[in-house]
Amino acid sequence: MVEVLNTRPGAIDLELEPADNERLARLCGQFDENIRQLERRLGVEIKNQGHRFRVIGSERSVDVASQIIEELYSAAAHQHLAPENVHLHLQQARIDEIADGGRQAGNLGPDDSEKDDQAAIRTRKVRVSGRGPGQRAYLERIRKHDLSFGIGPAGTGKTYLAVACAVEALESEAVRRVVLVRPAVEAGERLGFLPGDMAQKVDPYLRPLYDALFEMLGFERVGRLIERNVIEVAPLAFMRGRTLNHSFIILDEAQNSTVEQMKMFLTRIGFGSTAVVTGDVTQIDLPPDKQSGLRDAIDVLHNVEGVSFTFFSATDVVRHSLVQRIVEAYDSQSRLEQGGSPHSSATGDKRNWAR
């Protein structure tokens, strides 16, 4: 809880309650790194003496900073706050709207907390919520459509949220098994011969999917489910000729599928199944003479009933804030090379993604 002691134009004085030195230390972080991050991202100055804080800056920024400080102090009651936790709170508060002149960032409105709860994924080990409108829309579309596409830059949660939906469907017995698929294409390298059996050869390509499963189900349970073939991990090339009924199927890194492979994969979907296709069309590792199946699918399927598309942008990145700036820099350079304005937005338009 935060008690407002004094407020005036450009500044606000707060007192955090109940007084708890351990929570205060978690809030501030090592060498006040969490406070410094708030200052940098929100353009404010934050001073504190014990549990009393003064926030100085523009009226909008001060309001947002005070709300986030309250949220972080509440979270510090039961968890350690690393810089990435602070970053996620800032992302969820939509701080970019401060600069864009949109509605007050951090003021989620009367319905947004309810929407966030409805969009949450609940598994036995974790509860996963969509952070921001893009992720919430993505989760909602996966639940409502038999085939969903999640397209956007690294760090936007495309794969992680898809795996969370798959685990939820498996635990609720909405599906009988989960099938995780990925093209076995190196990222600009030639790894040569890989030792071991087929599962060991494709493991390096599927590691991000395993990581998400381990977090949500635990190492031992994932191992048992794989042994019983309830969770199946397979390279895309092995999907031909199969029909997958009552399954939750995820095709990850789909930008590295060819047009023929994408068509083959999409026609594997059987009765009672849900499929999610994720990818980033700016990171294609196919040879120059091969067209990306994901780009082609955006053009071919955009008007097909039962198919949904979610296009993420740099503002949806939930990794380190530097990742967001890197994605924006590459987007700006790409638009310049294509003859457009470096400040124009292409992320929400399927035609730009499919270019």
Highest mean pLDDT among 4-18, 96-110, 301-315, 324-338: 301-315
Cα angle 42, 45, 50; round to 5: 115
Q: Which of 121, 90, 118 is nearest to 106 (CA)?
A: 90
Domain 112-353 in this protein, CATH class: alpha beta
Higher pLDDT, 226 or 198: 226
What pairing do the DSSP bridges indicate for beta strands 45-49 and 121-122? Answer: unpaired
Q: What does the pLDDT read at residue 40?
A: 81
Q: What is the pLDDT of residues 15-52, one digit of tens each?
A: 888 888 999 999 998 888 889 888 887 878 888 888 89
Domain ranges of the chain: 2-100, 112-353
Q: What does the pLDDT read at residue 98?
A: 47
Say if CB 242 and CB 268 are below 8 A apart: yes
What is the distance between the alpha carbons of residues 316 and 94, in angstroms, rounded to a whole number?
Answer: 9
Q: Any idea how long the chain is?
A: 355
Q: What does the pLDDT read at residue 107?
A: 42
pLDDT-derived band at 110, boundaries 50, 70, 90: very low
Cis ω before 18 (30° cut-off from 0): yes
Task: Spell out the SS3 assignment of 193-226.
Answer: CCCCCHHHHHHHHHHHHHHHHHHHHCHHHHHHHH
| Span 307-333, average pLDDT | 73
Burial class (CB in 10 A: 0-12, 13-18, 19+), 154: middle
| Span 196-201, average pLDDT | 56
Say if CB 250 and CB 209 are below 8 A apart: yes
Q: Which of 298, 296, 330, 301 is nearest to 313 (CA)?
A: 330
| Stated pTM of the model | 0.63
Residue 103 has pLDDT above 50, yes or no: no
Q: Which residue has tokens 């992302």?
A: 91
Rounded to 10 deg, the angle between the 83-92 and 33-42 helix axes is 30
| Span 88-114, average pLDDT | 50
Q: What is the pLDDT of residues 151-196, one digit of tens each?
A: 988 778 898 899 999 999 999 899 999 999 988 765 444 444 555 5
CA 238 remoteness from chain centre: 28
What is the distance between the alpha carbons of residues 22 and 25, in angstroms, rounded to a whole number?
Answer: 5
Above pLDDT 90, what percent of the chain? 23
pLDDT-derived band at 355, boundaries 50, 70, 90: very low
DSSP string over 97-115 = HHHHT-SPTT---TTHHHH
Higher pLDDT, 66 or 324: 66
pLDDT-derived band at 297, boundaries 50, 70, 90: very high
Residue 348 has pLDDT above 80, yes or no: no
Residue 314 has pLDDT above 80, yes or no: no
Residue 94 has pLDDT above 90, yes or no: no
Check residue 269 and report its DSSP letter: B
* 3-state secondary structure (DSSP) of residue 188: coil
pLDDT-derived band at 101, boundaries 50, 70, 90: very low
Q: Supply the CATH classification number for the domain 2-100.
A: 3.30.1370.10
Q: What is the pLDDT of residues 221-280, one digit of tens each?
A: 998 999 999 998 888 888 888 889 999 999 998 999 999 999 999 999 999 999 999 998
Residue 145 has pLDDT above 50, yes or no: yes
